[in-house]
Amino acid sequence: MEELLKYPINVFQKSEFFFGVGLPGLIIFLIFLALLAVTILAYRGAISRTNRLFRGLLIAFRAITLMIIVFSLLKPFITIPQINPEDSYLLVLMDDSKSMQIADCSENKTRIEVVRELLFSPQQGLINQLKQRFKTRLFAFSSGSQRISVTDALNADGDYTDIPKSLSEALEDLKGVPLSGAVLISDGADKSGKDIAKVGYRLRQRKVPVHAVGIGSTEGVNDLELVRVDAPQKVEENYPIEIWITVRRSGYSSRKVIVTLNQEGRELKNQVVNLDKKHQSQRISMKFIPRTPGTHKYTVKVHPEPDEIIRQNNEKKFLIKISASQKTKILYVEGNPRWEFKFIRRSLENDPNVQLTARVMTAPNTIWGLGRMSGEGKFELYPESEEELFSYDGIIWGNVDAAKFSLQQLEYTADFVKTRGGGFLMLGGSRSLGSGTYINTPIANMLPVELERNSEFGNPPNPLFKGGTFRNSEFEFKLTPEGKSEPMLRLDADASKNDARWRAMPTLKGYSWVKRAKPGA
């Protein structure tokens, strides 16, 4: 049959049938119907001379003969599409992601090796065969597509596979080119999570069929995968940073794995992650403090299992730019030498991110200072100008009476918080909150509590309480429900252990009484 028709039978599946005479299909159908009617009428006179069967055969034979004659007069022809290599292009996309390094094919070959043999083998390579019928355009793809030539190497070093994006980029690159089809060669490990329907719509508009060729084993493999690492791109030195790591197991049963964080070959952190039955994947955090300015390379790695085949997805590398830190300038003013000053000063001086300026009154007219206290822009107890005060980021007032500051200095301090946006911490004491001297001052207006005059709940001052509202009795510090959830008061990540540590704290020797918290405080 193929010798008679000159073409293979399957070629005619894409052929189109036409008549040379330009008549509508309905007219042609009516012509054939009329021929059948005329033939039937022509044999009405022979009803008495012939039997029904013979008469039916004669009618059928004559009707078919007339239809063949008319069919021939209408000049029928069939168009068969022929591919001209000069006018037809074929898009070939090859997966070049890291998953193509997996050796799960026959003879323990990697997936990318199978692709090289399939396409570029000198004896049976498909590219040479395809070039006889098409102009081929080759693209390697992973997270995106890139035009390549036959001589370019496929290294399978792409981070992940994004088929929708890669197809879109290849179609855009070949915009205006008459594509006859596209061949997509991949292991199908698409990690983009995108809907490929939009790309399929573009392909349908251009009438480009896609032929997918799967590479790799159809059976699942045991694998530990480092799915994602979320890390900041820019940080300051000596400031703690936190990165988030997502780990997933496939095929393996429940197990504990070790995740390590390295900086340029030096291990910074390691953590055990429990991938149990309920948690096939886990998202964990790692915190560390960068110490050296500059751009540094970090590596997060999941330690592979001995029988793990896919080890290429067990680690991820990323860069963090570490800039020299701008130290936070803190001004600490204390009314008298006391334990609070000693320990707060020690803590701030030991913090590499803090530049501390301290003043303490060691006697009624004697002030000790940390650093120079004379010269241009300097001060004794407290800055006299708004400009100098606004150069700080935070202010701490200890046990200092309001009379030690001028009204202008109090107003500057209130503006420091409201206008400058600086931080202000006021510590309790018999001369500060407990003295009552700050009532009706700019400081009282910005504090989150209402100060109490030298009395207890409106009663006359109690002589046992020197300073009116400062209690010298010992008391135990207890967290409120809100305090238990406050990160600053969390001494342990475990809630029960945190409560136990607070209960074990020694009693405090005194506190400043305030009337109440202000609304919204």
Question: Measured between alpha carbons, how far is residue 287 from residues 100, 108, 261, 292, 330 in Å?
Answer: 33, 41, 10, 16, 26
What is the CATH number for 267?
A: 2.60.40.10
Verify that 373 and 464 share a domain, yes or no.
yes
In a domain, 176, yes or no: yes
Verify that 333 and 431 share a domain, yes or no.
yes
CA–CA separation, 262 and 314 (whole Å) = 14
Structure tokens at 309: 């085949």
Number of domains comprising the chain:
4
Verify that 342 and 491 share a domain, yes or no.
yes
Verify that 426 and 475 share a domain, yes or no.
yes
- Across the chain, what does the average pLDDT equal? 84
Domain final residue, candidates 274, 300, 323: 323
Domain final residue, candidates 271, 302, 323: 323
Residue with tokens 């510590």: 427
In a domain, 399, yes or no: yes
Give alpha helix (H) positions in 361-406: 386-389
Cα atoms in the Cβ-side hemisphere of radius 13 Å centred on 89:
15
The secondary structure element, H or E, covering residue 143 is none
pLDDT at 441 over 70: yes
pLDDT (0 to 100) of residue 124:
81
Q: In sequence order, what are the residues at sequence separation of 6 or more whose Cβ sits closer than 8 angstroms to the Cβ of residue 493?
A: none
In a domain, 232, yes or no: yes
Any idea of the CA torsion for 264, 270, 271, 276, to the nearest 10 degrees?
A: 70
Cβ pair 292, 203 in contact under 8 A: no
pLDDT (0 to 100) of residue 484:
86
Integer-rounded Cα radius of gyration of the chain: 43
Mean pLDDT value across residues 357-382: 76
Cβ pair 370, 357 in contact under 8 A: yes
In the DSSP assignment, the letter for residue 203 is: H
CA–CA separation, 263 and 137 (whole Å) = 42
pLDDT (0 to 100) of residue 85:
54
Verify that 387 and 464 share a domain, yes or no.
yes
In a domain, 170, yes or no: yes
pLDDT (0 to 100) of residue 459:
39
- pTM score, two decimals? 0.46
Amino acid (1-letter code) at residue 326: Q
CA–CA separation, 387 and 409 (whole Å) = 12
In a domain, 35, yes or no: yes
Question: Measured between alpha carbons, how far is residue 299 from residues 227, 259, 316 in Å?
Answer: 13, 10, 6
Verify that 367 and 416 share a domain, yes or no.
yes
For 96-142, what is each residue's pLDDT tens digit?
A: 988 888 888 888 888 999 999 999 888 788 988 888 888 899 999 99
In a domain, 84, yes or no: no
In a domain, 504, yes or no: yes
Verify that 423 and 475 share a domain, yes or no.
yes
pLDDT (0 to 100) of residue 4:
58
Verify that 338 and 476 share a domain, yes or no.
yes
Domain final residue, candidates 54, 79, 104: 79
Cβ pair 434, 469 in contact under 8 A: yes
53-57, Cβ contacts within 8 angstroms, sequence gap of 24 or more = none
In a domain, 403, yes or no: yes
Verify that 204 and 299 share a domain, yes or no.
no
CA–CA separation, 310 and 301 (whole Å) = 13
For 444, phi then psi, to 5°, come to -60, -35
CA–CA separation, 174 and 241 (whole Å) = 45
Verify that 54 and 183 share a domain, yes or no.
no
pLDDT (0 to 100) of residue 482:
87
Q: Which of 331, 343, 512, 337 is nearest to 431 (CA)?
A: 512
Backbone φ/ψ region at 280: left (φ over 0), alpha (ψ -120 to 50), beta: alpha
Share of the chain above pLDDT 90, in %: 36
What is the CATH number for 510?
A: 3.40.50.880
Mean pLDDT value across residues 449-477: 57
pLDDT (0 to 100) of residue 371:
54
For 313-349, what is each residue's pLDDT tens digit?
A: 899 999 999 988 788 899 999 999 988 899 999 999 9
The DSSP annotation for 482-511 comes to HHHT-GGG-SSSSHHHHHHHHHTSPPBS-E
Share of the chain above pLDDT 70, in %: 88
Q: What is the 3-state secondary structure (H, E, C) of 301-347?
A: EECCCCCCCCCCCCEEEEEEEEECCCCEEEEEEECCCCHHHHHHHHH
Give residue 35's pLDDT band: very low, low, confident or very high (50, 70, 90).
confident
pLDDT at 75 over 50: yes
CA–CA separation, 518 and 521 (whole Å) = 5
Burial of 411 (0-12, 13-18, 19+ CB in 10 A): middle
For 222-241, what is each residue's pLDDT tens digit?
A: 889 999 999 999 998 888 89
For 383-438, what is each residue's pLDDT tens digit?
A: 999 999 999 999 999 999 999 999 999 999 999 999 999 999 999 888 888 667 88
Amino acid (1-letter code) at residue 173: D
pLDDT at 86 over 70: no
Cα atoms in the Cβ-side hemisphere of radius 13 Å centred on 195:
4
Verify that 356 and 230 share a domain, yes or no.
no
Verify that 474 and 354 share a domain, yes or no.
yes
For 389-401, what is each residue's pLDDT tens digit?
A: 999 999 999 999 9
What is the CATH number for 184?
A: 3.40.50.410
Expressed as residue numbers, the domain containing 197 is 89-214
Q: Which of 266, 258, 257, 259 is nearest to 298 (CA)?
A: 266
pLDDT (0 to 100) of residue 463:
42
